[in-house]
Structure formats: structure tokens, C-alpha cells
A and B are shown apart, each in its own frame.
Chain A
């Protein structure tokens, strides 16, 4: 595996007036990695993704891009502030992802449409390609946004809570798709989520975002049997850094009986294991 760095954040702080959203963040994103950003609501996950996407300028510190044009970062926001009555089809929206590559004046041609349709098919939306985007369901709109990000042929994809509100099975399907796409298109993935159950089983790294960022190199370490019990018992602090209020993320009391069945999640992991964690485990 190459360990080429795509983006690095150096002492990045972001303040909104009085409020510090991110403090002294130092992380590097290496090509081919997949990282989950996990943390409480208001912890700064969205802010961090926007800093990397170039939408927020850090108050302090700097972001370096290595061999990576901004157009090669695909950003999929948590929710778009758009008027869904806008007269565009799903295909039109996906084509917008091609615009930066087209440059001025040139319009999207047949080649671009083919790429867009292929990507729509890939995310399971070929049948609704020419329907008005506003007529699609929330989950379908989300996948339109992903297809839009992917047709720009990005190296890095930033997903902001892509499955909030979905049930565990839907999340599972979603992240399977994302992981397939990652392999097919050699993507690097950064996904923000409050989900502690499904998401970490689909990524190589987990980072905790609560103003500051702590990176855990290997989730299989966190996720092995005895830790898992502790995680969904009382001792999340063991992994998630003392003062961070992780109970906001996933109340242990609720998480355990409802969907925190370690067996299921572990099973998911085993059947879809990446070579890396396979080796680590057995």
C-alpha cells in the first residue's frame, strides 16, 4: 500500500466568533485510506470536512494539498440547502459534477452523459435518472450527491453523515457500496458519522473529533472482543479520551440491547474483511 499523503492539516484551528469548533488539528490523509470521523454532535466533524473541501478557511494553521486539485475532492454534504423544486433531473445534477472538468463554455456532451449514467447505475439510480431530482426520496438524493461527486473523478471523497436516519441494514448496504466504489475507483475516503456500530467496521481508521482530533490507526484493535464489551459497557473513555462526552453519541444503555449486538457487527466485519484486518485478527 502506498502511503502517499494527499492532504495534511497543520495546527488547524477554526473559530466562529467566540466558539472554537476545531483546535490545533494535525492530521494527514494518505492515499487509499478510509477513515471514519466519529464524535459527538457539534464536535466539529462537518467543520473539519469543510476545511478539507476548501469551504471554510482555517482561523489558524494551514491545509496542504499534495498533488491534488480541489476539483479532485468530492464533497457530499450532510444536507443540502437547496430548493428541490429546481427544474433539474437526477442526471442533470450528476452532470454538474462534470462541470469543473469541462471548463468554460463547453457543455456536457455525450461522453459526459455516459459517465453520469454509468455512475447513476452504479449507485442504483439508473431508472430514475431523468426524473426531477426533487421527486426522489431522501436516500436517493443522497446517492445522487454521491454520483455527482464521483463523476468528477475525485481522488478523495468526503462524506458527511451519509446515512443519518437510516436503519442498520440500510447503513450496511450503503457502506458496502461505498467500499466497493472505493476499490473500483481507487478512492480515499473520509466519512463523518456518529455511528459507532456500522461505520467503523467499514473503514481502516477511526478518528475522534471533539474540537481536537485523535486518530486511531487500526479499528480492529478497538473492535476486538474484549474492547467491544467495554465500549458498549461503561468504559468508552478507554478508547475515546476521557473528557469527550461520548454518551451523547451512543448512550450505552440503549445501544446494547437494540443494535449493539457485537456478534452481528463482527460477523459483518468478518465476511467483508479487508486483507489488512484479516491478518490482524486471525
Chain B
């Protein structure tokens, strides 16, 4: 089944994109930024439409839109004047509205519009594959370079800042990388569903381990498994790839939630007084 050239490309792209989004998703989920992913993906729609209108590479224009939306949401929220959900709602809508506007300016029907919205295994061209590979390389290298600093500032931003870690820079870096990661996955999974691929693997992995190394590895593994099997299923029974991947991922997440060995603590804060009594010196 994977002999067909388009299927091989889809598979390679799927492997790259799923690992990429799972690793980014690890930070996104832990920092409770999941909804930002939704906003960034939808804002990218404006870039997709603009690319078509001007006849420039869609990856380029979509990247500009999503990175601008990602950094914009980050900046507006960080200044503290506007709440994060409000900022996301606005960037989300503005990106989509621009997309609709640009599309209306272009006479005729855009054939692969549906594949941008819903994802398609047929859509990945050899050029796309190179772009995805380059983006994956860049993002993974930067994540590896700053991993421990990102971990520390995701856990406790204030303490990270107090110890001299450039927490603000890392926040924007992460947003930029997430935006780029989302754009590189759009063709395969679609704007509407791409943020699920960001969130599901890490959310599922967190049901299985409380050690970040394992959560990260499991997250990549889950993402890979969803994507590869989702692509295979979508090929066999001819259903959209993005939807198949996400339905699969959701099923595994729900199953994990039900049988999780951890039964996640609900942010318990044991009584401080009692614990302080239990001895200071050891």
C-alpha cells in the first residue's frame, strides 16, 4: 500500500510532522497553551489564501500569518492588558476573515482548499516534503538546544527568570516554533484538526508517566502511532487523513484516561501546616 509515491511522501511527512508536533505539544500542554495552537492554525488560513491570491508559496505566506498570530497572541497576553482567550479569539477570527476576503478576491475555485482545511494524503508534494524536513530539523535542533531552559521556565517561569534564564525570549521562541510546526503539518492534517495533533499525544502520554523524559518519548511514540496508522486507515477505507488521525488519537486518549495507572492527581495541595510539622531536619 505504501508503494505509491504520494503515499510514501505522506508517510514520511507524517512521521516528521507527528514527532515534531508531539515534542512541541509536550511544552504546549504543560504550559496550558493548547488553545493557542487552535488560534495559530486558524490564523494561518489567511496566509494560505493570500499565497493563492498572490501566487507566492503558500508555506511562506501561511508561516508569516501563523508566526505573526503566535507572537501576537503571546505579546498581547504577556503585556497583561488583554486576557489570553480574548487575544486568541481575535487573532483566530481575524486570520479566518482575511482568508475569506482573499479567497473572494481570487476568481475561480481553488482546488486544494479542502486539503488545507481538512488535510489530505494526496496533497504532499516533493517540495512540501523538503520544506517539512527543513522545518522539522530547525525546530527539533532549537528545542534540543534550549530543552532544559524551556523545561525550567515551563515549570516555574518566575524562578527561571530569577535564576537568569531568558524566560521571555524562550516563551516567544516556543510560540514561533509552534507556529512553524503547525504550518508544516497543515497540508497533511488540515487547519481545523492540526492543533489536535499538537495536544493529543502529550495529553495521552501524561496519563502514563510522571517523568518528563518518558512523557516526551511516549508523546512522540503516540503521535507517530496515530499518524502512521491513521494514514494507513485513511488510505484503505478512503476517509480524510486528518480526521482519521484525530479520531484515533482521541480514542487512545480516552482509553488511557480510563485505565491510567496514575489516576492523575487533581493538583492537590496538601495542608502546609501539617507537613511543616512533620520535621524539618533529616
Contacts and interface: CB of A to CB of B under 8 A. Distances in A.
A123 to B, nearest CB: 7
A138 B271 contact: yes
A104 B273 contact: no
Interface of A: 53-55, 69-71, 73, 75, 77, 80-89, 92-93, 96-97, 99-100, 102, 104-105, 107-108, 121-127, 132, 134-140, 142-143, 145, 148, 152, 163-167, 169-171, 173-174, 176-177
A170 B151 CA distance: 32
A139 B276 contact: yes
Interface of B: 30, 32, 144-149, 151-152, 154-156, 158-165, 206, 209-212, 214-215, 264-265, 267-282
B280 A170 contact: yes
A125 B244 CA distance: 47
Contact of B155 (A82, A125, A167): A82
B162 A87 contact: no
B66 to A, nearest CB: 26
A22 to B, nearest CB: 18
B281 A134 contact: no
B210 A87 contact: yes
A138 B269 contact: yes
Contacts of A100: 163-165
A176 B156 contact: no
13 contacts: A71-B164, A77-B158, A86-B154, A100-B163, A105-B144, A108-B148, A134-B210, A137-B272, A142-B272, A166-B273, A169-B277, A173-B281, A174-B280
A138 B276 contact: yes
Contacts, number: 156
A152 B163 contact: yes
A54 B162 contact: yes
Contact of B156 (A80, A132, A165, A174): A80
Given A99-B152, A176-B281, A88 B275 contact: no
Contacts of A126: 282
Contact of A85 (B211, B265, B271, B276): B265
B276 A165 contact: yes
Contacts of A170: 273, 276-277, 280
Contacts of B159: 75, 77, 80, 96, 145, 148
A68 B32 CA distance: 35
